[in-house]
Amino acid sequence: MTAFDFRTVGTLLTGPGSVQRLPELCRELGISRLFLVTDPGVARAGLPSGAVDACKSAGITVSTFADVQADPPESVIRTAVAQGRGFGADGVVGFGGGSAMDVAKLVAFLLGDTGQALGDIYGVGACRGSRLPLIQVPTTAGTGSEVTPISIVTTGEAEKKGVVSPQLLADAVLLDADLTLGLPPAVTAATGIDAMVHAIEAYTSRHKKNPLSDLLAREALRLLGGAIRRAVSDGRDRAARQDMLLGAMLAGQAFANAPVAAVHALAYPLGGHFHLPHGLTNALVLPHVIRFNSAEPAAAAAYAELSAILFPGRDGTGRFADDLASLSRDLGLPPTLREVGVGADSLDLLATDAMKQTRLLVNNPREVTLEDARRIYGEAL
């Protein structure tokens, strides 16, 4: 067997109502001044209020930063770091979707024992020193950010850069289905497809694919495939919501160790230029990247294995891309780029930007050229 590394978070607490155990985790981690990082929507919905009240009752002082934006720019991270430093935080909790948890990772690191600034840590393995204790509480089931050592930042008008380092792995994660009850169908669908993409790309990653990541990816797809239609059709289905959270987390563990590839590389420019939700951009390009990759025999064989899990009873050979496209349509997601405002005049720009995602493209089971990227976008129109 080929040698491999596998890393993940230290503690995982799951189940409806588990967010009330946040004070317990704070005590275990020595946190007395907790800096909560979230976004305006989560804050307005009052989702953190029960956990905050429980912390205060336990003698833990809490300060909230609720200004995280989708696809967070550098300015948001710097502002959050300044607020956390002024508060004297000795621990951080990310409470929300992927953007809130990504910001929380960077805030925890930049407030820790390091002399580095944000601009020093872009790329893979550039972080030095240690961070503050970090807890993650996802309120959507998709990004898997709660268990990944990755944070994505918007660094210019539309370009995104990643920080990838073991220091960004959280100390603990809380998966509480009650925080996701009533999530709108469109958000549930897009984030659920996002989680599926993580599992699919981890399973076919050219680099670092390993038996543990494969196991996690398969189980993630089993859970997600069995729950996503129920979660979209009935936002109060607690069992489906908990399966979605667990499936998304398992997919996150898979791709944290066997990284994602061309689907994400082509999705990022769509988010950057057209401000589309990340899960939706993944869904829009996913079938077309799978068709492209299926020309590689090893990838085609892996897709057939995953098809048998996600679409049991179907002949997965050559049909995986079509079945995924049908699933997205059934869940109410727009099927083409044109339907979300992307025209043919943007293809060259998108393809050029996608090729900058070398960190991701190197993991794809088939090499992607500039011409290939443009063709895939064209097929997605």
pLDDT recorded at residue 134: 98
pLDDT recorded at residue 1: 58
The answer, yes or no, to whether residue 358 has pLDDT greater than 80, is: yes
CB 181 within 8 A of CB 236: yes
User: CB count, 10 Å around CB of 204?
Assistant: 30
When pLDDT is averaged across residues 164-178 and rounded to a whole number, the result is 96
User: What are the tokens at 51?
Assistant: 């956990």
pLDDT band at 314 (very low <50, low <70, confident <90, very high): confident
The answer, yes or no, to whether residue 40 has pLDDT greater than 80, is: yes
Question: Residue 131, SS3?
Answer: coil
370 to 270, 274, 375, 376: CA distances (angstroms): 16, 20, 9, 10
pLDDT recorded at residue 161: 87
pTM of the model: 0.94
| Phi/psi at 270 (5° precision) | -65, -40
The average confidence (pLDDT) of the chain is 95
The answer, yes or no, to whether residue 158 has pLDDT greater than 90, is: no
Are 11-179 and 183-380 in the same CATH fold? no
When pLDDT is averaged across residues 224-229 and rounded to a whole number, the result is 97
In the chain, the percentage of residues whose pLDDT exceeds 70 is 98
The answer, yes or no, to whether residue 292 has pLDDT greater than 70, is: yes
Sketch the domain layout of the chain as residue ranges. 11-179, 183-380
Query: Higher model confidence: residue 83 or residue 315?
Result: 83
Question: Can you spell out the DSSP letters for 255-318?
Answer: HHHS---HHHHHHHHHHHHH---HHHHHHHHHHHHHHHHTTSHHHHHHHHHHHHHHSTTS--TT
Place of tokens 């996690």: 216
In the chain, the percentage of residues whose pLDDT exceeds 90 is 90
Query: Higher model confidence: residue 325 or residue 159?
Result: 325
Could you tell me the fold of the domain covering 11-179?
Rossmann fold (3.40.50)
The answer, yes or no, to whether residue 157 has pLDDT greater than 80, is: no
The answer, yes or no, to whether residue 313 has pLDDT greater than 90, is: no
When pLDDT is averaged across residues 8-35 and rounded to a whole number, the result is 96
Give me the CATH code for the 183-380 domain, please.
1.20.1090.10
pLDDT recorded at residue 159: 77
pLDDT recorded at residue 196: 98
- What is the Cα–Cα distance from 369 to 361, expressed in whole angstroms? 10
CB 122 within 8 A of CB 78: no
The answer, yes or no, to whether residue 344 has pLDDT greater than 90, is: yes
When pLDDT is averaged across residues 246-254 and rounded to a whole number, the result is 97
pLDDT recorded at residue 260: 96
